[in-house]
Chains A and B, each alone.
Chain A
Protein backbone atom coordinates (compact mmCIF):
# COMPACT_ATOMS: atom_id res chain seq x y z
CA UNK A 1 0.00 0.00 0.00
CA UNK A 2 1.42 3.43 -0.93
CA UNK A 3 2.61 5.57 1.97
CA UNK A 4 3.73 9.12 2.53
CA UNK A 5 7.46 9.25 3.23
CA UNK A 6 9.49 11.94 4.98
CA UNK A 7 13.16 12.71 5.33
CA UNK A 8 15.08 13.07 7.51
CA UNK A 9 13.53 11.21 10.42
CA UNK A 10 15.41 13.43 12.86
CA UNK A 11 16.99 16.83 12.27
CA UNK A 12 19.09 18.69 14.83
CA UNK A 13 19.92 22.30 14.12
CA UNK A 14 21.22 25.40 15.81
CA UNK A 15 18.89 28.30 16.52
CA UNK A 16 18.85 30.73 13.61
CA UNK A 17 19.71 28.12 11.02
CA UNK A 18 17.52 27.25 8.06
CA UNK A 19 16.06 23.78 7.74
CA UNK A 20 14.23 22.03 4.94
CA UNK A 21 11.99 19.10 5.69
CA UNK A 22 11.15 16.84 2.82
CA UNK A 23 8.08 14.79 2.00
CA UNK A 24 7.05 12.52 -0.82
CA UNK A 25 3.23 12.37 -0.91
CA UNK A 26 1.30 9.45 -2.32
CA UNK A 27 1.67 9.69 -6.09
CA UNK A 28 -1.93 10.24 -7.19
CA UNK A 29 -2.79 12.65 -4.37
CA UNK A 30 -3.44 16.28 -5.13
CA UNK A 31 -3.62 17.95 -1.70
CA UNK A 32 -0.62 18.26 0.57
CA UNK A 33 -0.38 19.37 4.16
CA UNK A 34 2.10 20.11 6.90
CA UNK A 35 1.29 19.68 10.58
CA UNK A 36 3.39 19.99 13.68
CA UNK A 37 3.12 18.28 17.04
CA UNK A 38 5.04 19.63 19.98
CA UNK A 39 6.02 16.81 22.31
CA UNK A 40 3.03 15.57 24.28
CA UNK A 41 0.62 18.00 22.66
CA UNK A 42 -1.98 17.89 19.94
CA UNK A 43 -1.38 17.92 16.22
CA UNK A 44 -1.63 21.45 14.76
CA UNK A 45 -2.36 22.36 11.16
CA UNK A 46 0.25 24.54 9.46
CA UNK A 47 -0.57 24.74 5.77
CA UNK A 48 -2.33 23.07 2.87
CA UNK A 49 -1.17 23.14 -0.74
CA UNK A 50 -3.00 22.45 -3.97
CA UNK A 51 -2.28 23.15 -7.61
CA UNK A 52 1.12 24.61 -6.78
CA UNK A 53 -0.11 27.18 -4.34
CA UNK A 54 -1.05 27.52 -0.70
CA UNK A 55 -4.78 27.04 -0.24
CA UNK A 56 -4.98 27.54 3.52
CA UNK A 57 -2.56 28.38 6.33
CA UNK A 58 -2.79 28.77 10.07
CA UNK A 59 -1.55 31.53 12.35
CA UNK A 60 1.51 29.41 13.11
CA UNK A 61 2.59 29.54 9.46
CA UNK A 62 4.23 32.96 9.51
CA UNK A 63 6.88 34.50 7.25
CA UNK A 64 9.52 32.16 8.64
CA UNK A 65 7.81 29.23 6.95
CA UNK A 66 7.48 28.42 3.28
CA UNK A 67 6.43 25.42 1.24
CA UNK A 68 7.37 24.29 -2.20
CA UNK A 69 6.76 21.49 -4.62
CA UNK A 70 10.07 21.64 -6.48
CA UNK A 71 9.33 18.70 -8.75
CA UNK A 72 6.59 16.19 -9.45
CA UNK A 73 7.18 14.16 -6.32
CA UNK A 74 8.63 16.19 -3.44
CA UNK A 75 6.88 18.61 -1.12
CA UNK A 76 9.08 20.63 1.21
CA UNK A 77 8.69 22.78 4.30
CA UNK A 78 11.38 25.39 4.91
CA UNK A 79 11.93 27.20 8.17
CA UNK A 80 14.18 30.16 7.47
CA UNK A 81 15.55 31.02 10.90
CA UNK A 82 14.71 28.36 13.44
CA UNK A 83 13.72 29.20 16.99
CA UNK A 84 13.81 26.99 20.06
CA UNK A 85 10.02 26.80 20.00
CA UNK A 86 10.11 25.27 16.50
CA UNK A 87 11.27 22.03 18.10
CA UNK A 88 8.51 19.55 17.32
CA UNK A 89 7.53 16.60 15.19
CA UNK A 90 6.53 17.74 11.73
CA UNK A 91 4.11 15.57 9.80
CA UNK A 92 3.39 15.77 6.11
CA UNK A 93 0.07 14.44 4.82
CA UNK A 94 -1.63 14.06 1.48
CA UNK A 95 -5.13 13.38 0.20
CA UNK A 96 -7.04 12.82 -3.00
CA UNK A 97 -9.79 15.02 -4.37
CA UNK A 98 -12.56 15.35 -1.79
CA UNK A 99 -15.01 13.94 -4.32
CA UNK A 100 -13.14 10.63 -4.08
CA UNK A 101 -11.90 10.55 -0.50
CA UNK A 102 -11.22 13.10 2.21
CA UNK A 103 -8.89 10.84 4.17
CA UNK A 104 -5.52 12.38 4.86
CA UNK A 105 -2.58 10.00 4.97
CA UNK A 106 0.22 11.01 7.28
CA UNK A 107 3.92 10.45 6.87
CA UNK A 108 6.09 9.09 9.69
CA UNK A 109 7.21 12.57 10.71
CA UNK A 110 10.47 14.46 11.08
CA UNK A 111 11.55 15.24 14.61
CA UNK A 112 13.13 18.70 14.58
CA UNK A 113 15.32 19.64 17.52
CA UNK A 114 16.50 23.25 17.70
CA UNK A 115 19.39 23.85 20.09
Chain B
Protein backbone atom coordinates (compact mmCIF):
# COMPACT_ATOMS: atom_id res chain seq x y z
CA UNK B 1 0.00 0.00 0.00
CA UNK B 2 0.85 3.66 -0.13
CA UNK B 3 3.24 5.14 2.44
CA UNK B 4 3.51 8.90 2.94
CA UNK B 5 6.33 10.45 4.91
CA UNK B 6 6.03 14.09 6.02
CA UNK B 7 8.70 16.40 7.43
CA UNK B 8 9.20 18.25 9.63
CA UNK B 9 6.83 17.23 12.40
CA UNK B 10 7.08 20.70 13.92
CA UNK B 11 7.97 23.98 12.22
CA UNK B 12 8.36 27.23 14.09
CA UNK B 13 8.75 30.48 12.11
CA UNK B 14 8.52 34.20 12.64
CA UNK B 15 5.64 36.11 11.12
CA UNK B 16 6.53 37.09 7.57
CA UNK B 17 8.93 34.20 7.05
CA UNK B 18 8.31 31.39 4.57
CA UNK B 19 7.46 27.85 5.60
CA UNK B 20 8.12 24.69 3.61
CA UNK B 21 6.70 21.26 4.38
CA UNK B 22 7.87 18.22 2.44
CA UNK B 23 6.26 14.87 1.72
CA UNK B 24 7.33 11.74 -0.08
CA UNK B 25 5.14 8.90 -1.30
CA UNK B 26 5.81 5.37 -2.42
CA UNK B 27 3.04 4.35 -4.82
CA UNK B 28 3.60 5.56 -8.37
CA UNK B 29 -0.14 5.03 -9.01
CA UNK B 30 -0.97 7.99 -6.74
CA UNK B 31 -2.08 10.85 -8.92
CA UNK B 32 -3.80 13.40 -6.71
CA UNK B 33 -2.11 15.23 -3.83
CA UNK B 34 -4.23 17.37 -1.50
CA UNK B 35 -3.00 19.41 1.44
CA UNK B 36 -5.21 19.92 4.47
CA UNK B 37 -5.05 22.45 7.27
CA UNK B 38 -6.43 21.41 10.65
CA UNK B 39 -6.78 23.96 13.40
CA UNK B 40 -6.94 22.69 16.96
CA UNK B 41 -10.16 20.77 17.56
CA UNK B 42 -11.47 21.53 14.09
CA UNK B 43 -12.10 19.54 10.91
CA UNK B 44 -9.42 19.16 8.23
CA UNK B 45 -9.93 21.65 5.40
CA UNK B 46 -8.48 21.46 1.93
CA UNK B 47 -6.17 24.38 1.22
CA UNK B 48 -4.61 23.38 -2.08
CA UNK B 49 -4.24 20.31 -4.25
CA UNK B 50 -2.27 19.19 -7.27
CA UNK B 51 -2.72 16.46 -9.83
CA UNK B 52 0.10 14.36 -11.21
CA UNK B 53 0.00 16.01 -14.62
CA UNK B 54 1.02 19.36 -13.11
CA UNK B 55 4.38 20.32 -11.58
CA UNK B 56 3.37 23.38 -9.62
CA UNK B 57 0.25 25.21 -8.48
CA UNK B 58 -0.10 28.48 -6.67
CA UNK B 59 -2.93 30.16 -4.80
CA UNK B 60 -2.01 33.53 -3.29
CA UNK B 61 0.51 32.82 -0.49
CA UNK B 62 0.34 29.06 -0.88
CA UNK B 63 2.05 26.95 -3.50
CA UNK B 64 2.57 23.25 -4.01
CA UNK B 65 5.23 21.56 -6.13
CA UNK B 66 5.29 17.96 -7.30
CA UNK B 67 8.18 15.88 -8.56
CA UNK B 68 6.68 12.65 -9.89
CA UNK B 69 10.03 11.11 -10.72
CA UNK B 70 11.34 11.53 -7.20
CA UNK B 71 7.89 10.95 -5.68
CA UNK B 72 7.91 14.01 -3.52
CA UNK B 73 5.77 17.09 -3.15
CA UNK B 74 6.03 20.18 -1.04
CA UNK B 75 3.86 22.93 0.41
CA UNK B 76 5.23 26.46 0.44
CA UNK B 77 3.63 29.23 2.48
CA UNK B 78 5.05 32.72 2.02
CA UNK B 79 4.62 35.74 4.26
CA UNK B 80 3.32 33.60 7.10
CA UNK B 81 0.78 35.04 9.52
CA UNK B 82 -0.20 33.91 13.04
CA UNK B 83 -3.48 32.57 11.65
CA UNK B 84 -1.49 30.13 9.54
CA UNK B 85 -0.66 28.31 12.77
CA UNK B 86 -2.21 24.84 12.51
CA UNK B 87 -1.39 21.24 11.69
CA UNK B 88 -0.89 20.63 7.98
CA UNK B 89 -1.39 17.19 6.46
CA UNK B 90 -0.27 16.10 3.05
CA UNK B 91 -1.93 13.18 1.31
CA UNK B 92 -1.25 11.00 -1.69
CA UNK B 93 -4.35 9.66 -3.39
CA UNK B 94 -5.19 7.17 -6.05
CA UNK B 95 -8.36 7.09 -8.04
CA UNK B 96 -10.82 4.36 -7.08
CA UNK B 97 -13.96 4.34 -9.17
CA UNK B 98 -15.16 7.92 -9.19
CA UNK B 99 -13.35 9.09 -6.07
CA UNK B 100 -9.91 9.28 -4.53
CA UNK B 101 -8.69 7.45 -1.46
CA UNK B 102 -6.02 9.43 0.40
CA UNK B 103 -3.14 8.20 2.50
CA UNK B 104 -2.17 10.97 4.89
CA UNK B 105 1.19 12.00 6.23
CA UNK B 106 1.69 12.34 9.97
CA UNK B 107 1.21 16.09 9.94
CA UNK B 108 3.34 19.17 10.53
CA UNK B 109 2.53 21.49 13.37
CA UNK B 110 3.26 24.99 12.07
CA UNK B 111 3.69 27.70 14.67
CA UNK B 112 3.92 31.28 13.45
CA UNK B 113 5.20 33.66 16.10
CA UNK B 114 3.97 37.27 15.91
CB within 8 Å for A50 and B107 given contacts A43-B89, A102-B32, A106-B44: no
Whether B96 lies near A56 (C-beta < 8 A) is yes
Residue count of chain B within 8 Å CB distance of chain A: 24
Chain B residue numbers with a CB within 8 Å of A50 are 97-99
For residue B46, CB closer than 8 A to chain A, the reply is yes
Does A108 contact B43, Cβ atoms closer than 8 Å?
yes
List CB contacts (< 8 Å) of A34-84 with chain B: 41-45, 48, 50, 55-56
In this complex, which of B34, B43, B106 has the most chain A Cβ atoms within 10 angstroms of its Cβ? B43
A95 touching B49 in the complex, CB below 8 Å, given contacts A42-B106, A43-B89, A108-B43: no
> How long is the Cα–Cα vector from A71 to B46 in the complex, in angstroms?
28
Any chain B CB within 8 A of the CB of A18?
no
Given contacts A42-B89, A42-B105, A56-B101, contact A106 B96 (CB under 8 A): no
A72-115 interface mask toward B, CB cutoff 8 Å, 1 = contact, 0 = none? 00000000000000000001000101110011111111000000
Top 8 nearest A-B pairs (CB, nearest first) are: A106-B43, A31-B99, A98-B98, A42-B104, A43-B104, A42-B106, A56-B96, A106-B44
Which B residues are closer than 8 A to A by beta carbons?
A: 32, 34, 36, 42-46, 49, 89, 93, 95-107
Sampled A-B contacts (17; CB under 8 Å): A41-B106, A42-B105, A42-B107, A43-B36, A43-B44, A45-B101, A45-B104, A55-B97, A56-B96, A98-B99, A99-B98, A102-B32, A103-B46, A104-B34, A104-B99, A107-B43, A109-B43
